[in-house]
Amino acid sequence: MGIDRMAKMVLRRQGIGVKEKVVRFRGSTLIFRYNQDGYDIYINGTKSNFVKTSDVNEAVRIYKTTLSGSC
């Protein structure tokens, strides 16, 4: 599912940033993973939505206020 901590450390040492945030929301595990256009949202390991923003906290806010009702 997510990249483990050791892999993240290795990528960061090589100058490759890993932008990912894990959030628990309504009994589900949400993973916000950055790509070149915005954040992909994974619910319990399955990709469910996409948010076009470069700020992870804004992506979480958008999901909680608008997209969570559709799941």
Q: Count the neighbouring beta carbons within 10 Å of the beta carbon of residue 39.
A: 26
Q: Which pLDDT belongs to residue 1?
A: 44
Residues 50-62 as b/e (b if ≥16 CB within 10 A, e otherwise) read ebebeebeebbeb
What are φ and ψ of residue 63, in 5° steps? -60, -50
Distance CA 28, CA 16 (A): 28
Q: What residue ranges do the domains of the chain occupy?
A: 19-70
Distance CA 43, CA 8 (A): 21
pLDDT by residue for the chain (71 residues), tens digit each? 456 778 777 766 766 666 788 889 889 899 998 888 899 999 998 999 999 998 889 999 999 998 877 55
Q: Which pLDDT belongs to residue 70?
A: 56
Whether this prediction's pTM lies above 0.85 is answered by no
